[in-house]
Structure 1
């Protein structure tokens, strides 16, 4: 798209000259980055090194504690294994002596000498605290003799596992599981051997009942005599059955879990080892050492609780962290304060450096703004004077048309076309100067934009395709419809010139919301109107000046440099913004951000049929206030041709004196005011302008209708606060005629119109 628009003034950047160097002398560059990196490196080292040391020490301490716990369990389990071996050897010797005692005796013989055998059994087993009872059972499991009772009660163990196991030759059953003994009457486990007859046949069992509590008491003393111990000890059969355990709990399992590492080691018949496992008794993790007791089917185990290891490790780690990080925190604070001080120094340095750049930028921006202000005033003044010239030509053309100049239709049409072009150019000039008045109204884009399709097609030409992509539920906008239409035409014309060999022009509309944190110059709800072409695009230097007034890259006579400036000025004055993106070979995209309307647009109403007037109203008595003689002459002649009486005065001061005199006569004689209407320019010489005159006229008892004419937006904004009708220059004479007819009807209906005054 060929640039043909205006960009807001920006502060230009330039290098420091001699005068700037005198105000702000150069100083050596401060290497804040190196100093900051050094402090950050020190801070990282002060954090990483103590943390690494603490981590290494903590790891080493944990491994040392685990090694100490393992070593303690190995030493303890070795002592327990020696103790258990002595107990079982003693029991085996006791069993052998009893077997020798009953050698050659059958069951009846033992029953016959039961009292003597009872005394001997009591003597043999009574001196050992671990022995609960010594018993002799017959071939069928019947109790023959016991160290606890005499005579022996009638009872049988024929169904017990240890009896059947010894009878069947199972070695594991030489040490039974824990049970409540029939003879001992307490919890015991039995160590038994088979009695053999003279022919070698099975003749019965000799059994020594051992107390598990004896082993538990020994383990308690071995572990320090306290229940609050980090270690546990057990006496276990090779099949995992627990014979004795310390410390005891309310819900002790009777066997080791088959899935545990200890059960797997026992199944593999390992003699000794160390495993890590979770305890079946209290659920704690253990470092557990185990050893087999001689050739017996029994193991002793000693476990060290991991929770005790971790507890001691945590206590040591707390002391280590406290001793290490207390001085480290002090060092961190010192480095952090140094970094803050360095940041403050850098900020002060940057402020000092920015002050010189800011002053240069402010001076440059001030010069630029003064230049733009002067340019705007110049353009506005030229447009105002040009408006007056157009009004003169337009009025005289209308006069010539009404008088029926024969043979001049072609020439009159050419003048009228030139007038329309001049009016468009004036409108653009006033828009660039921010002096074009806006007539904002609520617009529904999805209804209005399709109606502009043919207008855009005419502006683009036949070679360029038009694509419209209107989003869903586009918000209504608050804009000047005529200015928006002119903006679209200006952008479309530039797109046409950028795509001389054809292309595509796309119009898109979407809703968008900007927030403060987005960093966009606008905040609130807007409608984004994107207009994109597939032309050659703009180079960066042209894009940077694309919003500059009177700047154009078009050939001489092809562009005025006022088309796109009107687009930017229109968006800015509407409360929005215009932006552009372009690159060589990538086309150009112009985005218009227009504010969302607070209320929905009014529905279009069908035109009401006009009511025929009973008669043609009489002409009005108009007070024309205009400082330009030729504009006043043309307007006066045209109004007279419309059937109105016109009194012309040069400025508002003279007009107000006429009203003062008329009101004075009215007070003396009762004569009505000589005027029905005031038609006044706003911008005039003298102490008063047209708005001041309108306010003064409305302050009288008899309120007259007032029509004000202006070409300046700031005057139009003030005029809207006064109860008057306003026409913006240049205006169509037909519009003025229609407005005067409306005022005539209103005056006639209210009865305030004076008697007929035929026009000359």
Structure 2
């Protein structure tokens, strides 16, 4: 069964799609942004989380170390307080025994019994390592007896703070400050009580001198040696230092005033923990303190915060090393992944660009093949149409020259139809890229304002026109007639897109394209932007805007050749046309036309033509035309102009005539029978019109040749031959003028022959 034609078209379309998929396989879109954001998030997490963990662990470790140090000082100060309390209690008991020993004796009685009392004092205090001496002082502060010396030396403590304080009932002075004993020269501090007489009055002081070194040695043993971050002190309630470990020469004898520690002692606080600065080594301390029973003395245990920080730094270093070593490895892996992702994205973009370019090239190739086929078809139709127009035009001219009374109106209508047909043929040949271009250098700043009236006529009364020419716009090399036709086509489309009126703007500016910018063109161009404020085009219409014979206008309103002519003209001129549009946003058409290498020529006034008084005779013309009716009409017109015409139907026959004429000229010396050759270019046979012109110019006697064509590629070749060229359909008046010029040239040549 024979397949349906629509089925064949569908099969062809599916086959083409499969071919495109084979050449350009569909690859899913790579979401590089999501992958990059994921890797960056992982990198941030890999940086932030270890840092947060290390910070939390470091903070926790620091607080734990401070808590351990505080707990250690509290335990240590409790032991030291118990020790000091035993010593002070023993001293109080010793003082009480001494008071009982001398009870009822006055100063003289004590002096009288000094020997016995000395022995008893030595027995009572000699068994305690902390006791340096036990002494008895009189009411006036004089030394009455001591366990250390016999007889007692003459010493008075009447001016000592502890003596006067005990005498005046001051509790603080029951424990004295550190001092150097006047008799033994040993550093001590004293704990004393008052002696009372029979009547209860103050009778003197009993004092036990204690060695501070005893307490320092105990504190050293308690803290575990010299290599310790802790300190121990025994102080009075007023801050006077009684004993301190570690001790050093020249150490302060009192702690600094107005510190958290001295403020706590001044308030009478019995125990607590404060942070303060040490006066011994100028270091920050965590200090735990406890009052020694009811005595005006405190035991202090301090822990150096520098030791805490040093241990914390060591632990933090280990923590950072153990945590960030694998983290750094992870960072490097993520960073390398990001770099690899960047390289993949760049490669993907290059691949996409290459695939897009290849698709564009393939699409352009298919479009070019389609345009080539369409051009051949349109060119053949336009060529035949040109011949028909030539026949009609020639016969109209014949009718006018012979006189046709009463038919002037009808002939004028035919001539108007001829002009419309010529315009349509020009458009067809332009779209098919077969319309000959007559390029010339054009000054935009002079030409564009001159087109204002032409554009206004095309736009209509409802549309306003704005012309904006940039500064120093370059001249361009174009066919002015084709450019004007392009502007008219765009203006007409803009008018139809703005039925209720609007604005049409024409802008001219210079633009340069470089190879690295990826634009299809490179070099210097003049950009003509033509913008309207119309309804715009949907994407599906915009994609086919430059397609020949495509139109969205109602039947009879458009041919589909306007924008294709614009595109073909720009491309053949060495430039490009581009279009942008959107629904409701208007349309912008941009023409990129090449910059002219030279400046435009300045128009000069035409020289006055001197008419030749002698009437030239008619020319002997060899007409070469393969179309019988075109040949008959042209021959009749030429004969009516007074010329002699010989007509042949191809170039091969014409060349044989010339060969015969030259052979005869060589035998008889007769001149050639022709003054001029008029030939079509496209003809059947082995030779075309250009081949014939080249052969005629190769003879010894060179004849002028006029070639007639409607194809741009033939016109380009004909320009390299020294001939006159007329593009179909040509005006008969133009041919008449050309022949008259040739007649005058031949007449002048016969009058003034070359020497």
Question: Shorter-chain TM-score: which interval?
Answer: 0.5 to 0.7
Residue 427 of structure 1, CA deviation? 0.6
Per the TM alignment, residue 614 of structure 1 is displaced from its structure 2 partner at its CA by 5.8
Match of 1:427 in 2: 426
Correspondence for 2:321 among 318, 322, 325: 318
Any residues of structure 2 matched to 1:601-750 within 5 Å, and which? 602-603=599-600, 605=602, 607-612=603-608, 616=612, 624-629=622-627, 630-639=629-638, 647-661=646-660, 677-699=676-698, 705-737=704-736, 739=738
Deviations 1:79-105, CA, capped at 9 Å, x for gaps: 99899999x99xx9xxxxxxxxxxxxx
Q: What is the CA distance between 1:381 and its match in structure 2?
A: 1.3
Once structures 1 and 2 are overlaid, which stretch shifts more, 36-45 or 518-527?
Answer: 36-45
Structure 1 position 743, deviation (Å): 6.2
Q: Which residue of 1 aligns with 2:386?
A: 387
Q: CA, structure 1 residues 684+472, in 2 after alignment: closer, same or farther (shift >3 Å)?
A: same
Structure 1 pair 68–731 and aligned structure 2 pair: CA distance change class (3 A): same
TM-fit CA distance, 1:383: 0.8
Distance (Å, rounded) in 2 between the aligned partners of 1:39 and 1:610: 74
Q: Take 2:20 and 2:369, find their aligned partners in 1: how far apart are those partners?
A: 25
Contact 2:624 2:677 (C-alpha < 8 Å) held by counterparts? no
CA distance in 1, matches of 2:55, 2:263: 30
Cα shift readout 1:433-489 (whole Å, capped 9, x = no counterpart): 222222334444443222212112222333333333445555544432212211222
**Residue 724 of structure 1: CA displacement?**
4.1
Q: Distance in 2 between matches of 1:692 and 1:409?
A: 41
1:534-553 matches, cutoff 5 A = 534-535=533-534, 546-553=545-552
Q: Does 1:494 align with 2:493?
A: yes
Deviation at 1:55, TM superposition (A): 5.9
Whole-Å separation in 2 of the counterparts to 1:635 and 1:266: 137
Q: Within the alignment, does 1:567 sit opposite 2:569 as a pair?
A: no
1:289 paired with 2:291, answer no
- The match for 1:142 is none
**1:477, 1:594 within 8 Å by CA — same for their partners in 2?**
no
* Other-structure match for 1:155: none
Equivalent pair of 1:475/1:596 in contact (CA under 8 Å) = no
Q: What are the Cα deviations for residues 93-150 of structure 1, in whole angstroms up to 9, with x where unaligned?
A: xxxxxxxxxxxxxxxxxxxxxxxxxxxxxxxxxx99xxxxxxxxxxxxxxxxxxxxxx
Q: Does the 8 A contact of 1:483 with 1:570 survive in 2?
A: yes
Question: Could you say which residue in structure 2 is the equivalent of 1:58?
Answer: 54
Q: What is the rounded CA distance, in whole Å, between the counterparts of 2:262 and 2:443 in structure 1?
A: 84
Inter-partner Cα distance in structure 1 for 2:232 and 2:469: 84
Q: Secondary structure at the match of 2:750?
A: coil
Per-residue CA distance 1:546-577 (angstroms, 9 max, x = gap): 54443445444443333333233323435312
Q: Distance in 2 between matches of 1:467 and 1:45?
A: 54
C-alpha distance in structure 1 between counterparts of 2:536 and 2:476, whole Å = 29
Q: Is the 8 A contact 1:464 1:503 kept in 2?
A: yes
CA drift of 1:587 comes to 6.8
Quote how far apart the aligned CAs of 1:683 are. 1.2
Following superposition, the deviation at residue 702 of structure 1 comes to 5.9
Distance 1:478 1:78, change over 3 A: farther
Is residue 66 of structure 2 the alignment partner of residue 70 of structure 1? Answer: yes
Q: 1:300 to 1:622 in 2, by over 3 A?
A: farther
Secondary structure in structure 1 of the residue aligned to 2:461: coil
What CA distance in whole angstroms lies between the structure 2 residues aligned with 1:84 and 1:665?
Answer: 153
2:463 touches 2:501 (CA, 8 Å); kept in 1?
Answer: yes
Larger radius of gyration: 2
Cα distance between partner residues in 2 of 1:507 and 1:400? 45
Alpha-carbon distance, 1:684 to partner: 1.3
Instruction: Indicate how the Cα distance of structure 1 residues 430 and 76 shifts in structure 2: closer, same or farther if over 3 A, else same.
Output: same
TM-score by length of 2: 0.58
CA distance in 2, matches of 1:263, 1:472: 88
Asked if the contact 1:572–1:578 (Cα under 8 Å) also holds between the matched residues in 2, the reply is no
CA distance in 2, matches of 1:392, 1:224: 132
SS at 1:755's partner residue? Answer: helix
Q: 2:581 corresponds to which residue?
A: 581
Q: Rate the CA distance shift 1:19–1:488 in 2: closer, same or farther, 3 A.
A: closer
Equivalent positions of 1:394-473 (< 5 A) are 394-398=393-397, 409-471=408-470
**Greater relative contact order, per chain length (Cα 8 Å cut-off, separation 6+):** 1
Counterpart-to-counterpart distance in 1, 2:383 and 2:750:
38
CA contact (8 A) 2:230 2:301 kept: no
1:726 aligned counterpart, secondary structure: strand
Map residues 44-55 of structure 1 onto 2, 5 A cutoff. none
Query: Map of 1:87-98 to 2, 5 A cutoff?
Result: none
Could you say if the C-alpha distance between residues 463 and 292 of structure 1 is closer, same or farther in structure 2, counting changes exceeding 3 Å? same
Number of positions where the alignment pairs a residue of Structure 1 with one of Structure 2: 641
* Structure 2 counterpart of 1:755: 750
Instruction: Indicate the larger mover: 509-518 or 55-64.
Output: 509-518
Q: In the alignment, what sits opposite 2:592?
A: 594
1:302 to 304, 314, 333: 304
The residue that corresponds to 1:101 in the other structure is none
Per-residue CA deviation, residues 662-706 of structure 1 (Å, 9 max, x unaligned), is 555666777766656544322111112223333444555666554
The alpha-carbon distance between structure 1 residues 626 and 672, as it changes in their structure 2 partners (threshold 3 A), is closer
Q: Distance in 1 between matches of 2:289 and 2:625?
A: 128
CA 1:483–1:320 in structure 2 vs 1: closer, same or farther (change >3 Å)?
same
Contact 1:466 1:505 in 2 (8 A): yes
Write out aligned runs for 1:121-520 (5 A): 289-290=286-287, 302-303=304-305, 304=307, 309-310=312-313, 312-322=315-325, 373-398=372-397, 409-471=408-470, 474-509=473-508
Q: 1: CA distance between counterparts of 2:537 and 2:474? A: 32
1:592 Cα offset (Å): 3.0
Verify the 8 A CA contact 2:537 2:587 in the aligned structure 1: no
| Alpha-carbon distance between aligned partners in 2 of 1:651 and 1:224, rounded to the nearest angstrom | 131
Structure 2 gap ranges (5+): 1-7, 89-128, 131-171, 178-188, 191-211, 238-243, 249-254, 292-296
1:621–1:674 Cα contact (<8 Å) kept: no
Q: Distance in 2 between matches of 1:58 and 1:667?
A: 115
* Whole-angstrom CA distance in 2 between matches of 1:20 and 1:64: 71
- Structure 1: gaps spanning 5 or more residues: 1-11, 93-126, 129-170, 177-190, 193-209, 239-243, 249-254
Question: Given the superposition, is the C-alpha separation of residues 613 and 362 from structure 1 closer, same or farther in structure 2, using an over 3 Å criterion?
Answer: closer
CA distance in 2, matches of 1:266, 1:82: 17
Cα RMSD, aligned residues only: 7.7
Contact 1:466-1:506 at 8 Å conserved across structures? yes
Residue 185 of structure 2 corresponds to which residue in structure 1? none
SS at match of 2:448: helix
CA contact 2:371–2:432 (8 Å) conserved in 1 = no
Higher mean alpha-carbon deviation, 473-482 vs 306-315, is at 306-315
1:484–1:78 Cα change, 3 Å:
same
Contact 2:622 2:645 in 1 (8 A): yes
